[in-house]
Amino acid sequence: MADLDPVRVARQVRKLYRLSVPVDPERLARNLGISVLSAEFSEQLSGVLVPETYGNETRYLILVNSRHRRTRRRFSIAHELGHFFLHRGLQPAFTHLGKSQGRLEREADLFAAELLMPEGDVRLAAQLTNFSGLVRAFEVSAAAMRRRLTELGITPKGEIA
Protein backbone atom coordinates (compact mmCIF):
# COMPACT_ATOMS: atom_id res chain seq x y z
CA MET A 1 0.00 0.00 0.00
CA ALA A 2 1.44 3.37 -1.00
CA ASP A 3 1.93 5.97 1.71
CA LEU A 4 -0.97 8.40 1.66
CA ASP A 5 -0.80 12.03 2.75
CA PRO A 6 -3.27 12.22 5.67
CA VAL A 7 -4.07 15.90 5.10
CA ARG A 8 -4.75 15.41 1.39
CA VAL A 9 -6.92 12.34 2.09
CA ALA A 10 -8.92 14.25 4.73
CA ARG A 11 -9.50 17.05 2.23
CA GLN A 12 -10.64 14.54 -0.40
CA VAL A 13 -13.04 12.95 2.10
CA ARG A 14 -14.46 16.37 3.06
CA LYS A 15 -14.99 17.20 -0.62
CA LEU A 16 -16.40 13.79 -1.62
CA TYR A 17 -18.88 13.71 1.26
CA ARG A 18 -19.57 17.48 1.12
CA LEU A 19 -18.70 17.96 4.78
CA SER A 20 -18.89 21.38 6.38
CA VAL A 21 -17.92 22.66 9.81
CA PRO A 22 -18.70 21.39 12.33
CA VAL A 23 -18.06 17.96 10.85
CA ASP A 24 -20.04 15.09 12.36
CA PRO A 25 -17.55 12.19 12.34
CA GLU A 26 -20.12 9.71 13.65
CA ARG A 27 -22.50 10.48 10.78
CA LEU A 28 -19.62 10.10 8.30
CA ALA A 29 -18.78 6.71 9.83
CA ARG A 30 -22.40 5.57 9.51
CA ASN A 31 -22.48 6.76 5.88
CA LEU A 32 -19.44 4.57 5.27
CA GLY A 33 -21.19 1.57 6.84
CA ILE A 34 -19.07 1.75 9.98
CA SER A 35 -20.92 1.22 13.24
CA VAL A 36 -19.92 3.47 16.14
CA LEU A 37 -20.53 2.18 19.65
CA SER A 38 -19.68 3.58 23.06
CA ALA A 39 -17.93 1.41 25.61
CA GLU A 40 -16.38 1.98 29.03
CA PHE A 41 -12.61 1.81 28.72
CA SER A 42 -9.78 2.91 30.95
CA GLU A 43 -8.97 6.64 30.71
CA GLN A 44 -5.97 5.93 28.44
CA LEU A 45 -7.97 4.15 25.71
CA SER A 46 -9.83 6.59 23.48
CA GLY A 47 -11.04 4.44 20.62
CA VAL A 48 -10.61 1.29 18.58
CA LEU A 49 -11.15 0.46 14.92
CA VAL A 50 -12.02 -3.22 14.52
CA PRO A 51 -12.72 -5.16 11.33
CA GLU A 52 -15.55 -7.69 11.46
CA THR A 53 -15.54 -10.39 8.80
CA TYR A 54 -18.79 -11.97 7.62
CA GLY A 55 -17.97 -14.61 5.02
CA ASN A 56 -16.17 -12.72 2.24
CA GLU A 57 -17.26 -9.28 3.48
CA THR A 58 -15.38 -7.14 5.99
CA ARG A 59 -17.21 -4.42 7.90
CA TYR A 60 -15.70 -2.04 10.40
CA LEU A 61 -16.67 -1.04 13.89
CA ILE A 62 -15.44 1.94 15.92
CA LEU A 63 -15.60 1.67 19.69
CA VAL A 64 -15.20 4.97 21.52
CA ASN A 65 -14.67 5.62 25.23
CA SER A 66 -18.01 6.62 26.78
CA ARG A 67 -16.18 8.14 29.76
CA HIS A 68 -14.58 10.85 27.63
CA ARG A 69 -16.10 14.26 26.92
CA ARG A 70 -18.08 14.65 23.69
CA THR A 71 -15.33 16.69 22.02
CA ARG A 72 -12.73 14.03 22.76
CA ARG A 73 -15.04 11.27 21.48
CA ARG A 74 -15.52 13.25 18.26
CA PHE A 75 -11.75 13.47 17.77
CA SER A 76 -11.35 9.77 18.59
CA ILE A 77 -13.93 8.80 15.96
CA ALA A 78 -12.21 11.05 13.40
CA HIS A 79 -8.85 9.49 14.36
CA GLU A 80 -10.22 5.97 13.81
CA LEU A 81 -11.66 7.10 10.47
CA GLY A 82 -8.11 8.17 9.64
CA HIS A 83 -6.97 4.60 10.20
CA PHE A 84 -9.88 3.40 8.05
CA PHE A 85 -8.93 5.60 5.10
CA LEU A 86 -5.14 5.46 5.47
CA HIS A 87 -4.17 2.16 7.06
CA ARG A 88 -6.99 -0.33 6.53
CA GLY A 89 -5.55 -3.81 6.14
CA LEU A 90 -2.12 -2.98 7.59
CA GLN A 91 -2.90 -4.58 10.95
CA PRO A 92 -5.85 -6.42 12.47
CA ALA A 93 -7.13 -3.52 14.63
CA PHE A 94 -6.12 -0.02 15.67
CA THR A 95 -6.20 1.13 19.26
CA HIS A 96 -6.03 4.86 20.02
CA LEU A 97 -4.35 5.46 23.36
CA GLY A 98 -4.27 8.96 24.83
CA LYS A 99 -0.77 9.83 23.66
CA SER A 100 -0.44 8.68 20.05
CA GLN A 101 2.93 7.24 19.15
CA GLY A 102 4.39 6.00 15.91
CA ARG A 103 3.88 7.00 12.30
CA LEU A 104 0.44 5.42 11.85
CA GLU A 105 -0.94 7.10 14.97
CA ARG A 106 0.50 10.48 13.97
CA GLU A 107 -1.00 10.14 10.49
CA ALA A 108 -4.42 9.30 11.97
CA ASP A 109 -4.13 12.39 14.21
CA LEU A 110 -3.25 14.60 11.20
CA PHE A 111 -6.23 13.19 9.30
CA ALA A 112 -8.56 13.84 12.26
CA ALA A 113 -7.25 17.39 12.74
CA GLU A 114 -7.76 18.27 9.07
CA LEU A 115 -11.17 16.58 8.97
CA LEU A 116 -12.52 18.38 12.05
CA MET A 117 -10.50 21.61 11.80
CA PRO A 118 -9.73 22.19 8.11
CA GLU A 119 -6.81 24.54 7.64
CA GLY A 120 -8.64 26.99 5.38
CA ASP A 121 -11.67 27.18 7.66
CA VAL A 122 -9.52 27.62 10.76
CA ARG A 123 -7.48 30.40 9.11
CA LEU A 124 -10.65 32.26 8.12
CA ALA A 125 -12.43 31.76 11.45
CA ALA A 126 -9.34 32.86 13.40
CA GLN A 127 -9.63 36.27 11.72
CA LEU A 128 -13.24 36.58 12.85
CA THR A 129 -13.35 35.18 16.36
CA ASN A 130 -11.28 34.48 19.44
CA PHE A 131 -10.01 31.14 20.76
CA SER A 132 -13.25 30.27 22.60
CA GLY A 133 -15.22 31.01 19.47
CA LEU A 134 -13.03 28.64 17.47
CA VAL A 135 -13.52 25.86 20.02
CA ARG A 136 -17.29 26.31 19.83
CA ALA A 137 -17.45 26.65 16.03
CA PHE A 138 -15.46 23.48 15.35
CA GLU A 139 -16.86 21.56 18.35
CA VAL A 140 -13.43 20.40 19.49
CA SER A 141 -11.61 20.49 22.79
CA ALA A 142 -9.48 23.46 23.76
CA ALA A 143 -6.43 21.16 23.71
CA ALA A 144 -7.14 19.99 20.15
CA MET A 145 -7.70 23.55 18.92
CA ARG A 146 -4.57 24.81 20.68
CA ARG A 147 -2.51 22.04 19.05
CA ARG A 148 -4.05 22.80 15.64
CA LEU A 149 -3.39 26.53 15.88
CA THR A 150 0.21 25.84 16.90
CA GLU A 151 0.70 23.42 13.98
CA LEU A 152 -0.67 26.02 11.56
CA GLY A 153 1.12 29.00 13.16
CA ILE A 154 -2.16 30.86 13.68
CA THR A 155 -3.02 33.40 16.38
CA PRO A 156 -6.78 33.94 16.72
CA LYS A 157 -8.37 37.38 16.69
CA GLY A 158 -7.89 39.20 19.97
CA GLU A 159 -5.12 36.82 21.12
CA ILE A 160 -1.60 37.99 21.84
CA ALA A 161 1.08 36.12 19.91
22-51 in b/e burial notation, b at 16+ Cβ within 10 A? ebbbbebbeeeebebeeeebeeebbbbbbe
pLDDT value, residue 1: 43
What is the mean pLDDT of the segment spanning 141-154?
Answer: 94
pLDDT(103) > 70: yes
Cβ neighbors of 17 (< 8 A, separation 6 or more) are 28, 31
| Residue bearing the bigger pLDDT, 111 or 88 | 111
pLDDT value, residue 99: 57
Nearest to 73 by CA among 40, 103, 102: 40
Would you list the domain boundaries of the chain? 6-117
HSE value, Cβ hemisphere, 13 Å, CA-based, for 131: 16
Show the CA angle centred on residue 118, arms to residues 97 and 74, nearest 5°: 35
Q: What is the mean pLDDT of the chain?
A: 88
Place 98 in a pLDDT band, splitting at 50, 70 and 90: low
pLDDT value, residue 95: 64
pLDDT value, residue 54: 82
pLDDT value, residue 29: 97
Whether domain 6-117 has CATH 1.10.10.2910: yes
Structure confidence by residue, pLDDT tens digits, 2-31 = 568 999 999 999 999 999 999 999 999 999
Structure confidence by residue, pLDDT tens digits, 120-139 = 999 999 999 999 999 999 99
Torsion sign across C-alpha atoms 20, 71, 60, 105: positive
